[in-house]
Chains A and B, each alone.
Chain A
Amino acid sequence: MGRIRTSISVLSTFVSLVILPIMSVRTVYNMGVIVPKFDELTIIILGCSITVLTLIDGLTPGKAGALFSFIKYSASAYYSYKILNMFSWFIYQSQQGYAELYVDWGLWLILVISITLLSGLLSAISKAVEKPKKEGEPKKS
């Protein structure tokens, strides 16, 4: 993977896995909605770990890269499991009334994790079968 593509990938991973969830919870909190199960520290730790794995995956070619690619997707599947469970209970309280929303992710959670793991496996295989660049071949950025 080119360095520019890796940089974009790392940046978008960090924004979508760390910045966006934290910002959206803070935004809805200002509107009176509490997400009681949300744990900011877990999101930061998991999101940063996946960002680092995305960087290693992008910079490592061949079979080692394929392994990192699969580890990254597995970590993403675990992240999905954790974040969906965090977003399963919402409380809205105002002077007009009180409301709660529960979400049971059920089969959807299994579908998300399965598709993420399958994507990881396919991505790792595609990286493993990638032909190594020959000596003297100009590098693509």
Chain B
Amino acid sequence: MSKLRITLKIIVYLLSITLSIFSALIGYDAYNLASQGIIVGKSSTVQGTEYVNISVPITIRVPGYFFDLSRINITIVIIDEKNHQYARDCELIPYIPLGGEKNITIELSLPITVAQQWVNGSITLYSKFIIRFWFSKYNYDFLGFGIAGRSELQRE
């Protein structure tokens, strides 16, 4: 009976240690991804007759220790103070293995009338960056994260 009790206690401790190790791995991978995993490059602008086309190169790397990334959805939206949307584009990356990287380009078409109003200073524009992804392993999605950040577009 005593042996059974000790065995059960050991299993309980092992389960709690496993949970703690997994928590630490998620924390470590999330920290690495946040600090060096998402690199937004310098955007380029091409002016057309009706639209100003803005290209934003983005590199997603998986620099962690254990988890892969899956179902990565990256969206950039250009909005004003009232959350009115002027341009939007999104890219979906199904899977990036541990240590891998993927380059994408977000293409935004901003109406030229809006761009002129913004240059004149009559409206303030913001870019909203949204990224959603899952930490996955062995084809199982363990934990999902969604990050949205908004910043004001700066005039040169």
- Listed in ascending order, the chain A residues whose CB lies under 8 Å from chain B are 96-108, 111-112, 115, 118-119, 122-123, 125-126, 129-131
Contacts and interface: CB of A to CB of B under 8 A. Distances in A.
A108 B26 contact: yes
12 contacts: A97-B152, A100-B147, A101-B148, A103-B144, A103-B146, A104-B134, A106-B141, A107-B140, A122-B12, A122-B15, A123-B9, A130-B5
B152 to A, nearest CB: 8
B1 A129 contact: yes
B5 A104 contact: no
B141 A101 contact: no
Given A99-B148, A99-B150, A131-B2, A107 B141 contact: yes
Contacts of A125: 8
B interface residue count range (under 10 / 10 to 19 / 20 to 34 / 35 or more): 20 to 34
Given A123-B12, A129-B1, A97 B143 contact: no
A126 B15 contact: no
A98 B129 CA distance: 10
What 3 pairs between A and B have smallest CB-CB spacing? Answer: A104-B144, A102-B146, A126-B8
Interface of B: 1-2, 4-5, 8-9, 11-12, 15-16, 18-19, 22, 26, 132, 134, 140-152
Given A126-B9, A131-B1, A107 B143 contact: yes
A103 B143 contact: yes
A80 to B, nearest CB: 10
Contacts of A108: 22, 26, 142-143
Contacts of B141: 106-107
Given A103-B144, A106-B141, A129-B5, 7 more contacts: A98-B149, A98-B150, A100-B147, A100-B148, A101-B147, A106-B144, A122-B15
B6 to A, nearest CB: 8
A113 B146 CA distance: 23
A105 B11 CA distance: 25
A14 B9 CA distance: 22
Nearest to A92: B149
Contact of A119 (B12, B22, B132): B12
Contacts of B134: 104, 106
A36 to B, nearest CB: 14
A129 B142 contact: no
Contacts of A111: 19, 22, 142
